[in-house]
Structure 1
Amino acid sequence: MDSRFAVFFFIMGGLDTYLNDCPTDCIQTAPAEERIAIQFGDTYFQEEIIGDEIYGIYDFPKYYGAFQPTVGASLSDQDDFWLGAGGKWTTRRIADSPVYVELSLMPGVYFQGDGPDVGFPLQFRGTLGAGIDFPNGSSLSVLFDHRSNANASEWNPGIETVGIRFSQTLD
């Protein structure tokens, strides 16, 4: 895995938790916007476009410190399937602005179809995105993510996705 995603995720989330939650309770729970999202994107393997992917995401209605639990599943046009769960950090929590940045980190399982051999079924998905919230509770964002096995096997090439995501709050 490209460790920059994990490092950036833990630095930003840890700093946010320390500055905003630790004066009272470092891992306090707080309400969050429950969301569903759908993402469409191009997938890359060793810097070559190999196809398209559809990715569905559900964000739980709670923060634990600065982290919001999230789950996701993706399917490529080569019948590769990924399923994972983890956490998301977003500037929505600290800034009252329609523009936001998000980072997520989700370990998951990769089921190879006709796509590339990525070395091991355990794949960590790190995402960096930026978007805009609309008054009706929807948002639109562009994202880059990287999946790899974090050197759990000798072969660790990784897959990247560049996509556009539409999400909607659930009330």
Structure 2
Amino acid sequence: MSSLLNKILLLTILVLAFSSINAEENTIKSYNQYNFYSGNFDFSDDKQKAILFGFQHQNEMLERETFLGNISPITGGFITENSAAYIYTGIEWNYDMGGKMIFTPSFAPGLYSEGDGKDLGHILEFKTEVQASYKISESSSFGLSYNHISNASLGDKNPGANSYMFNYLKNF
């Protein structure tokens, strides 16, 4: 089943990428960025690792320039092949590294349901993430990200989960 889901995700990414490359660039600033991602949930735990699929929205109308850089709100979620799910909202910092590279750390508290997957010890979990992206056009980027999810010892146990993802980011 995960093979079929991977093929569907890859096809979706390719269609979106080629449609954005061939389309005329819009001169009006886009205010919504969507991040479609897939990867390996808890890759460091051989017994619990699973394929994940996720979606994230960034509203650039609410972005702010601060002494830390450009900060904007994010909201998203993912589901694993074992029916574990996580929904979150938080903030991200976007650092233009010159040229076409962007570095994006983020922090987002959220709600976790283990499904048939890993028990992380609490419903409230915190996600910290770093992402490096490469712009392929004014409205599309590909990226690689790594995150850690932990309950900060709110529960009786706090095993945490480390994940990596491949990202397709699209501005609309």
| TM-score bin (small chain) | 0.7 to 0.9
- 2:42 aligns to what SS in structure 1? strand
Deviation at 1:34, TM superposition (A): 2.1
CA 113–79 in structure 1, closer or farther in 2 if over 3 Å, else same: same
Q: 4+ residue stretches of structure 1 with deviation over 4 A?
A: none
How many percent of aligned residue pairs carry the same amino acid?
A: 20
Map 1:114-133 onto structure 2 (within 5 A): 114-133=116-135
Check whether the contact 2:127–2:147 (CA below 8 A) recurs between aligned residues: yes
- 2:49 aligns to what SS in structure 1? strand
The aligned residue for residue 72 of structure 2 is 68
Provide the rounded CA distance (Å) in 2 between the counterparts of 1:144 and 1:46: 12
Matched AA of 1:123: E
Deviation at 1:131, TM superposition (A): 1.4
Check whether the contact 2:43–2:164 (CA below 8 A) recurs between aligned residues: no
- Using the TM superposition, name which of 101-110 and 31-40 deviates more: 31-40
CA 50–82 in structure 1, closer or farther in 2 if over 3 Å, else same: same
CA 130–45 in structure 1, closer or farther in 2 if over 3 Å, else same: closer
Deviation at 1:97, TM superposition (A): 2.4
Matched, 1:83 2:87: yes
The aligned residue for residue 26 of structure 1 is none
Provide the rounded CA distance (Å) in 2 between the counterparts of 1:115 and 1:140: 28
5+ residue gaps, structure 2: 1-28
> Quick one: which of 29, 35, 39 aligns to 2:37?
39
Provide the rounded CA distance (Å) in 2 between the counterparts of 1:96 and 1:143: 19
Deviation at 1:45, TM superposition (A): 6.0
**CA offset digits 1:59-95 (Å, max 9, x no partner):** 0122133311000110000001100000000113xx5
Deviation at 1:46, TM superposition (A): 5.2
CA 106–32 in structure 1, closer or farther in 2 if over 3 Å, else same: farther
The aligned residue for residue 168 of structure 1 is 170
Check whether the contact 1:91–1:100 (CA below 8 A) recurs between aligned residues: yes
The aligned residue for residue 153 of structure 2 is 151
Q: How many pairs are equivalent?
A: 138
Matched AA of 2:101: V
Check whether the contact 1:32–1:60 (CA below 8 A) recurs between aligned residues: no
Scaled by the length of structure 1, the TM-score of the pair is 0.75
Check whether the contact 1:32–1:68 (CA below 8 A) recurs between aligned residues: no
The aligned residue for residue 108 of structure 1 is 110
- Using the TM superposition, name which of 47-56 and 83-92 deviates more: 47-56
Scaled by the length of structure 2, the TM-score of the pair is 0.74
C-alpha RMSD of matched pairs (Å)? 1.8
- 2:103 aligns to what SS in structure 1? strand
Matched, 1:59 2:58: yes
